[in-house]
A and B are shown apart, each in its own frame.
Chain A
């Protein structure tokens, strides 16, 4: 359920109150942008997804019913928009579109801190999209297991399975590469 503060702000935003709209954007855009950036690996696309997410929110606000948390709903919309973009990328030829996957992990090179983190970002981008979504939501953005499962519309045990597979892959690819 949305909390009282959310509901009050949603009602005011739906009535066109600029301050309430500012509040919603200020509160939720960082998480949405971070999720989209890490899912897509592209700042411009992530910003497009964030903007589109809020445009959908403005349309939904007048009929908003507090069955779910507003933040969960927003993240779900953003995640689905990311999935759409990743699917469209796959449908295009490699020449037409930059790859999401950058296979440039270099096991033979020494990794400085900055390079390590860059390699980790790349390894996360290389994961299957549902695994990377689970990892980003839980391990990076700090959502609870219940919240992340709700955003992804899966059970907590399915989320746990995705997380385990994601971390095993990171252990095999990323850790071995940077050691």
Chain B
């Protein structure tokens, strides 16, 4: 790499050698360190331009402009129905509560089907009288007699 090549690099990329293409960076850095006087003037001018370029104001769009661009997009669904409430609440994890609900339902069914049935006192031998007694009080047959009438 000649000194003219390095001056070309300074012209193209400025004074910051870190911005030079990787393949030529190290050679350029070494040569600049060896003979700083050769490149001093070019580097000084480049540094001034670099500094001023970096100081240029950042251009940012305001929110109303961004909103206006968004409005140009062809939405397939109206905005207010885009995100269902469960997605707003659970985000991407909406599948978890749904799976939880299904698991609860399944567990309920299993427990219900396997529950012992002996707890019920009503069977084929149960008489109307027994049921009545269990409901209104076994000791008092007055009600039973009234009911039969």
Contact = CB atoms under 8 A, between A and B. Distances in A.
Interface of A: 13, 15-19, 21-22, 25-26, 29-30, 33-34, 37-38, 47, 50-51, 54-55, 58, 113, 116-117, 120-121, 135, 138-140, 145, 156, 160-161, 163-164, 167-168, 170-171, 174-175
Interface stretch (B60-68, B115-123, B129-137, B140-148): B60-68
Contacts of B53: 120, 135, 139-140
A25 B65 CA distance: 10
Contacts of B70: 18, 21-22, 25
A37 B59 contact: yes
A16 B69 contact: no
Contact of A163 (B12, B65, B76): B12
Nearest to A47: B65
A54 B59 contact: no
A58 B76 CA distance: 12
A19 B83 contact: yes
Interface stretch (B31-39, B44-52, B95-103): B44-52
B60 A30 contact: yes
Contacts of A116: 52
B59 A34 contact: yes
Contacts of B72: 51, 54-55, 58
Nearest to B42: A171
B84 interface: no
A171 B49 contact: yes
Given A47-B65, A145-B21, A160-B12, A140 B56 contact: yes
Chain B's interface size range is: 20 to 34
A164 B45 CA distance: 13
A101 B137 CA distance: 106
B98 to A, nearest CB: 21
A25 B66 contact: yes
Contact of B49 (A26, A138, A164, A170): A170
A30 B132 CA distance: 82
A15 B55 contact: no
B76 A117 contact: no
B126 interface: no
B52 A58 contact: no
A34 B46 CA distance: 23
Given A29-B66, A47-B65, A164-B8, A13 B73 contact: yes
B52 A120 contact: yes
Nearest to A138: B13
B12 A50 contact: no
Contacts of A145: 21
Contacts of A156: 21
Contacts of A15: 76
Contact of A16 (B46, B49, B66, B75): B75
Contacts of A16: 73-77, 82
A18 B56 contact: no
